[in-house]
Amino acid sequence: MFQNPWICFLLFLAWASTTAFAARLVDFQVEQPPPVPKDAKQCTIQVLQRDFAFSFGMAEVVQFTPPSDCGPVGSWAAITLNFTVTSNGTQFDRLGIFTFQNVEIWRTSTPEPSRGDGIIWTYIKDVTRYTPLFAKPGTFILQLDNLIQQGLDGVYSTVLHATFYASSADHPAAKQADAIFPLSTFAPDTGNDASVPPGFSINVTLPQNAVGIYAEIYASGNGNEEFWYSNAPNQFLGDLPDGVTFGQGPFREVRLLIDGRVAGVAFPYPVLFTGAISPAAWRPITSYGAVDLPTYFLDLTPFVPVLTDGQPHVFTIDVASAEADHTILQNWFVSGALQVFVDVSSQRTIGNITTYSADPFAESSATASRQGNNVIITVSAQREIHVEADILSGSGVATHVVWSQNLQYQNIQSYLNRASTQNIFQTASGSVSSIHSGKQVVKDIFSYPLTINLTNTTFLLDHSYDRDLLPTPFIPGSTIHSHQLAGTTSAGSSNNNTFSYLDTDGNSFERRVNASRNVITLDQQSGTLAPASFGPTDGVGVPFNGESTFAQARLPGGRRIQT
């Protein structure tokens, strides 16, 4: 019976992580501290405080009013959120959706707690790019659907503060868009993301004098799409033992369509949540992206000639596979927003899309080779989008826009020895660019390699997030190299990271941090954003007082421990 070895694997994980320690465990995602002016006047306001016990369908909904004592409202140099959470018990990781003024501003997920002294984590999130939203009072929603039931008693006790940094001669006000338009459900009482499939569509009417339109997309695979990169093409499912993986193939592209026509796409970064495969491997260091899920940026300015007619246009966000019908399983959660710049003149922006080259779907191929008890499946995909436009603002400024995306994808899955060993290698990489009259305004050069090796006794993961990103012309560009080796073997669980951050304002941060069996064994931090005088032994060896029980681990293909 195929499933038996996997049960042993999970029991093994439970054994590997039951050791006694001596304090509350501090969980974290390796990330740069936000580049904020520390010497600026700061105004900190509590946004909400909530214990998420049984909270399914019961989001926290509060009214938020910006501070008026940190300079003129909307003139801040930066805005950050501080989300601090404690939990003591057993609980699954849960998705958290922060929505303000009907715009998703942060997608997070929770580290799984432990029993005894429990866990704590703090994440400081830079939300400066949403300044136009924070410049007026509005509804703030945190959706964190938690369940309390037999075997799951972990409550997430949360507090959220927002800090506003006053601008000054030394610290100018952050550049901001003139308006932000949500691509969201507009729900009044829950997170404003939509579940796809089917695609999510919304009519948006944009200002007739718009001269720049930049989209940001949130998208994550959940439910039977959590391990989307481990799914097998339907045509090869019959070659594999039953129940080892889901179908619909491993390729996913998130598409943004305007009036049914592809405007841009993202090859998403694979986020592993802390309940994924071996929860012990994600404690106390989560997988990169689990606490702050990456988002994707597209320049829609070439579509200005179409979008400035004063009429509603249908924006659609969907997720497509490389299957013949491009369908996926349930479910991806998606949302987005348009950051819009308008001309000083109120007259309509006019122009022409002079080149439009974008296929509805990526080009792809899938092959399988079988040798004895081994099956190796390879799926490849690629995508080229090229759109050019000439636009002329009401005040007479002519701009030539060149928007292009050149994306590659490969996924190799080896199911060895009747699938008792499952190795996944995936890489998505690409080059995204938008040039306005010779000036680079959007850039995304990325590479997301992922290797997962899984047997009944070992889990090894090697993944990177390498991204040189200029999200829009008004958000500083940054280059991030994150490399994480994590896993669980007979030697226990470990999680080793090297991380570097450099931005176009000259801020930098580097960190090397390793954890083994819940204890930090190495922590080196440097760069302009590092905590002052961070010593080589700071944070190392802090003991942990807890029983490392976990909620049931989730495995690719929906496999579960049978109790």
Ligand X SMILES: *[C@@H]1O[C@H](CO)[C@@H](O)[C@H](O)[C@H]1NC(C)=O
The residues binding ligand X (CB under 6 A) are 5, 8, 82, 84, 88, 117-118, 122, 124, 159, 161, 201-203, 312, 314, 350-352, 390, 392, 414, 417, 420, 423, 425, 453, 456-457, 460, 485-487, 494, 496, 514, 521-522
Q: Phi first, then psi: what are they for 478, rounded to 5°?
A: -150, 155
Closest by Cα among 278, 286, 339 to 473 = 339
Q: Which is nearer to ligand X, 114 or 478 (by Cβ)?
A: 114
528 φψ region: left (φ > 0), alpha (ψ -120 to 50), beta (else): alpha
Question: Per the structure block, which two tokens stand in for 38?
Answer: 């520390």
Q: Which is nearer to ligand X, 356 or 425 (CB)?
A: 425
Taking the complex as a whole, how short is the minimal distance between the CB of residue 385 and ligand X, in angstroms?
21
Residue (231 or 349) nearer to ligand X, CB: 349
CA dihedral in degrees (128, 331, 92, 289; nearest 10)? Answer: -40
∠ at Cα 374 (368, 380), nearest 5°? Answer: 30
Residue pair 240/419 in contact by the 8 Å Cβ criterion: yes
Q: Which positions ≥6 away from 83 have C-beta within 8 Å?
A: 108, 122, 123, 125, 158, 159, 160
Rounded to a whole number of angstroms, the minimum distance from the CB of residue 546 to ligand X is 9
Cβ–Cβ < 8 Å for 322, 235? no
Q: Which of 181/297 has CB closer to ligand X?
A: 181
CB of residue 172 vs ligand X: minimum separation in angstroms? 23
Burial of 50 (0-12, 13-18, 19+ CB in 10 A): middle
Closest separation in Å from C-beta 422 to ligand X: 9
Q: Are 161 and 123 in contact (CB under 8 A)?
A: no
Closer to ligand X by CB, 190 or 457: give it.
457
At its nearest, how many Å lie between ligand X and the CB of residue 304? Answer: 10
Q: How far is the CB of 128 from ligand X (least distance, A)?
A: 16
Residue 161 beta carbon to ligand X: minimum distance, rounded to whole angstroms: 6
For residue 506, what are its two tokens?
A: 């000259």
Phi and psi angles of residue 326, each rounded to the nearest 5 degrees, phi first: 65, 15
Q: Could you tell me the smallest distance in angstroms from the CB atom of residue 324 to ligand X? A: 26
CA 108 to chain centre: 8
Q: Are 124 and 34 in contact, with CB atoms under 8 Å apart?
A: yes
CB of 80 to ligand X, least distance (A): 8
Query: What is the number of other CB atoms lying within 10 angstroms of the CB of residue 434?
Result: 28
Q: Which CB atom, from 417 or from 504, has the smaller least distance to ligand X?
A: 417
Separation between Cα atoms, residue 405 and residue 164, nearest integer Å: 35
CB of 92 to ligand X, least distance (A): 17
**C-beta of residue 557 within 8 angstroms of C-beta of residue 244:** yes
Residue number, 160 or 271, with CB nearest to ligand X: 160
Alpha carbon distance 478, 163 (integer Å): 22
**CB-CB contact of 89 with 155 (8 Å):** yes
For the CB of residue 88, give the shortest distance to ligand X in the complex, in Å: 4
Distance CA 508, CA 548 (A): 35
Residue 78 pairs with which residues in a beta bridge?
Answer: 165
Joined together, the tokens standing for residue 488 give 């669980």
Q: Which is nearer to ligand X, 405 or 514 (CB)?
A: 514
User: For residues 137 and 541, which CB has a smaller minimum distance to ligand X in the complex?
Assistant: 541
- Closest to ligand X by CB, 258 vs 432, is 258
Instruction: Look up residue 288 and give its amino acid.
Output: Y
Amino acid at the residue 338 = L
Nearer to ligand X, 22 or 314 (CB): 314
Q: Which is nearer to ligand X, 4 or 346 (CB)?
A: 4
d(CA 30, CA 499): 7
In the complex, least distance from residue 444 CB atom to ligand X, rounded to whole angstroms: 27
Q: Exposed, middle or buried: residue 363 (CB in 10 Å: 0-12, 13-18, 19+)?
A: exposed
